[in-house]
Chain A
Amino acid sequence: DAGVIQSPRHEVTEMGQEVTLRCKPISGHNSLFWYRQTMMRGLELLIYFNNNVPIDDSGMPEDRFSAKMPNASFSTLKIQPSEPRDSAVYFCASTALSDSPLHFGNGTRLTVT
């Protein structure tokens, strides 16, 4: 199994630009999570999906952030327009069952200048 696959690994962009982060969960996993990690705030849950349906997006910072899961094997997290305070590592994670451990992708390190 290839694990959770995220792309890109690194993204450097200028303030105001649109950023799209991508995630492919482990095949057969029906829950997908987007987290953001910073030194100050640690890992924060942004949004999670069950069976492609968004369940809780209360962690999404503001309207500039949006996430979609058009099918069981693909999800995107979009930031438009991006701001320097969005700089962080964004992790995608998936799991098969509610009581199973999360499997994280390698993360996307986003820098907004």
Chain B
Amino acid sequence: RKEVEQDPGPFNVPEGATVAFNCTYSNSASQSFFWYRQDCRKEPKLLMSVYSSGNEDGRFTAQLNRASQYISLLIRDSKLSDSATYLCVEDQTGANNLFFGTGTRLTVIP
């Protein structure tokens, strides 16, 4: 059983659209969550951390729902450069013992 579940997509959206991804996790005691971005044939890179109160970084908003055990990523005003795979990550022990989802693939279409 995967600890972290994501919809693999693909999500194909037009430029300028708003798109949201959800990710469910299994360990109710987990404290830290992240979204990583991975471009084709590249390494994953940290996009943003997810805080209990929710956090925003420009066009990106991440939220955590502990009651339902899911985290979300919202991308507003999608750009072509947002095309990538977005990985949901759960840190179960707080010691960088990270569990990665299999990723959600996003393609932004001109």
Contact = CB atoms under 8 A, between A and B. Distances in A.
Which of A31, A42, A105 gathers the greatest number of chain B CB atoms within 10 Å? A42
Interface string A9-48: 0000000000000000000000101010000011111001
B26 to A, nearest CB: 15
A104 B45 contact: yes
A56 B49 CA distance: 24
Contacts, number: 45
B49 to A, nearest CB: 8
B55 interface: no
Interface residues of A, number: 21
B96 A31 contact: yes
Interface size grouping (class) on chain B: 20 to 34
Nearest to A107: B43
Interface in B32-47: 32, 34, 42-46
A102 B32 contact: no
B44 A104 contact: yes
B98 A102 contact: yes
Contacts of A95: 96
Nearest to B42: A106
Nearest to B94: A98
Contacts of B100: 35, 42-44
Contacts of B2: 42
B105 to A, nearest CB: 11
Interface string A54-83: 001000000000000000000000000000
Interface string B82-97: 0000010000001111
19 contacts: A35-B100, A42-B2, A42-B100, A43-B44, A43-B100, A45-B97, A45-B98, A48-B97, A56-B97, A91-B44, A98-B94, A98-B95, A99-B96, A101-B34, A101-B49, A102-B44, A104-B45, A105-B43, A107-B43
Interface of B: 2, 32, 34, 42-46, 49, 87, 94-103
